Amino acid sequence: MKIGILKETQKGERRVAISPNIVKQLIDKEFEVIVEEDAGTSSSFKDSNYLKAGAIVEKRGVVFKEADVLVKINPFDEDDLKLVNKGQILMSQLFHKSHPELIEAISKTGASAFSMDAIPRISRAQDMDVLSSQNNLAGYKAVIRGAYEMTKIFPLMMTAAGTISPARVLVYGVGVAGLQAIATAKRLGAIVEATDIRPETKEQTESLGAKFISVDHNGEETSEKGYAKVASEDYARRQQEAVNKSLFEADLVITTAMVPGRKAPVLITKEQVDQMKNGAVIIDLAAAQGGNCALSKMNKEVIRNGVKIIGTTISPESVSTNASELFAKNMYNFIMHLTEGNQFEWDFDEEITDETLIVHNGIIRKNGKTN
């Protein structure tokens, strides 16, 4: 079986789906690997690194023509699908719940498609979870970006000229990105607080030395399969009231709250921004899904009442070498799980396969069944 590694074409993307180290491991398992020219250049992986690992390096059209499995990070676009052949297997993040038109287009090619963002949050799938590995880096980078944008330093500092008070950081959403943001801000010496709709995250927050801002749930279900659910209007109101004091005192706010397949919840309103400290910074990691701050705009800086709001994914593109290595390891584990003797097993009753296989031989699968 020949695995094709494609160069990412999305603007600003610097990662590659498979690193040279993982190429070597795949070849050791008797797969063949063909890599598009310059696919890893932006992640500091030269074509010569792939050749040394045992891969073949070819032009884009050749990779599409010869590979049995086509691997990339971002969704296959219209130009990609023109080159896809019937029977090929596509692997990437598809975000299929919010992009039904893409799934329909893939089905017309007669190919099969796995969505890497649909890996279930179960213990045996942890080493395949690309969202977790990439969000971990995003949480770290959000704090570093915030430190750059702030006009203050994080730690308490005692100098001959006087004492500098530590910065105050507030994190919305205690998932993988949020936990890494908390840990990074704490290491830099900030006073950190965090809030999340899921009560089970309280212990995780406190284990990192941060204060958890609790909200009374009144019996409301707030999580499903490890992911946050959409909160009711009543809960959202109570959360705003609970965090206002911390929000208005914060020097840096990092928002990470996203609901799979849905628009990101608005957690910070315009009115709340107007009451924040002059010079405060908001790093909104949910900007690509509409933003947790009502004023966020993707890849733009908005200044309102002295508050700087930066809408971004802080996609791990900015640390593309590490991000690519982690994504590649996730992909390797996923491929190993799905195959036996270099052939796909197609076990539709197995949970990981069932959740991630969105299209099979041109047929769109719904609710775990082939239609």
Could you write out the DSSP letters of every residue in 68-126? Answer: SEEE-SSPP-HHHHTT--TT-EEEE---TTT-HHHHHHHHHHT-EEEEGGG---SGGGG
Distance of CA 89 to CAs 122, 204, 357, Å? Answer: 24, 38, 10
Phi, psi of 139 (to 5 degrees): -65, -40
- 333-351 burial: b if 16+ Cβ within 10 Å, else e: bbbebbbeeeebeeeeeee
Residues carrying an active site annotation: 121, 126, 129, 132, 227
Tokens 């799934």 — which residue? 103
Alpha-helix residue ranges (DSSP H) falling in the chain: 20-28, 47-53, 60-66, 78-81, 100-109, 130-149, 176-187, 201-207, 233-249, 270-273, 320-338, 351-356
